[in-house]
Amino acid sequence: MAQSLTRRRPVARERPATPLVAQRQRTRWSTAPVLLILGWALLAVLVALGVAQPWLGLAEPGAQHLTERLQPPIGFGGTWEHPFGTDQLGRDLLSRLLAGARVSLGLATLGVTISLVVGSMLGLLAGFRRGVLDHAIMFIVDVQLSIPFLAIALVALTLFGTGLPVLIVLLGLSGWEQYARLARALSLRTSQELYVIAARSLGASTARVLSRHVLPNIVAPLLVLATLQFTSLLLLESSLSFLGLGVQPPTPSWGNMLGDARNYLQLAWWTTVAPGLALLLVTLVVNATGDWLRDVTDPVLRRR
């Protein structure tokens, strides 16, 4: 009897509660400013229309109709045949804007991807292996930082021409040193963590340690830098195309649209409004996204 009274009853197991830190982290990721969400929606619509431009039934971006040149947009005496008006050669501005979005945003995306991959890999190797490799990579980084990249781009375009492959390589080489410096600093700190030391002591290869333990813990700051670098490459491509050294006609881009319209500002102001507003919208949305990602992934702000 005494044994039965003293026998402990099994306690029902309760499901562990979700940690407060995880709840706050999910809340930060799931909530974003309303204006930023609206900007994402507008950017998504612009990208979708740019991709679908050949199938929208619009006029050809390069089709010239001199009898319809410099027509105003809707609301200023224009017609629905050309909602955004036409340029000095009678080309439809809406069609050229969407085709230029595909070109300009595509070039900036390729440039960011190349810079991110090349710079991050070199920075990881420099910070993890150290020694001669570290000094060599950092020397190349210092050399590129000491020379204005616009000067390098002008020399390269003069020597190798203004084709799209040359422009893609130039955009890919622009900014890789920033990823390399950031990845090196982060890998230096992460390589001293106990889990990395334990993995190396257990015989894990360098490639496995970098891919499974180091890279996942430094990828967030690199992505934040990539969002901020995207606008720099977009403006660089637009600047080169504006000067006639980037995307060449008849391929449209926002930069060469502005370059073609600069001589007609007093006659046709609308020829600069569409590409200028598109550049402004993309720059503001991407920069705001980078700032938001930095706040979300920053551990100091997360603790606050």
Tokens of 245: 């050294």
Map out the domains of the chain as residue ranges: 60-303
Tokens of 227: 């969002």
- Among 104, 79, 84, smallest CA distance to 94 is for 84
Amino acid type, 117: V
Helices (H), 87-214: 93-129, 131-146, 149-160, 164-173, 176-190, 194-201, 206-209
Range 60-303 has CATH code 3.30.1050.10 = no
For each of the chain's 304 residues, which pLDDT tens digit applies?
444 444 554 444 444 444 444 444 454 545 678 888 888 899 999 999 988 888 888 888 888 888 888 888 888 887 888 889 888 888 989 999 999 999 999 999 999 999 999 998 888 888 877 778 888 888 988 888 888 888 888 888 888 877 888 888 888 888 888 898 888 888 888 777 777 777 777 777 767 777 777 777 778 888 888 988 899 899 988 988 888 888 888 888 898 899 888 888 888 888 889 899 999 999 999 988 888 887 777 655 555 5
Cα-based torsion angle of the residue sequence 300, 302, 303, 304 in order, rounded to the nearest 10 degrees? 90
With b for 16 or more beta-carbon neighbours within 10 A and e for fewer, the 45-75 pattern comes to ebbebbeebeeeebbebeeeeeebeebbbee
> Which residues, in sequence order, are CB contacts of 301 under 8 Å at separation 6+?
295
On whether the pTM is more than 0.85, the answer is: no
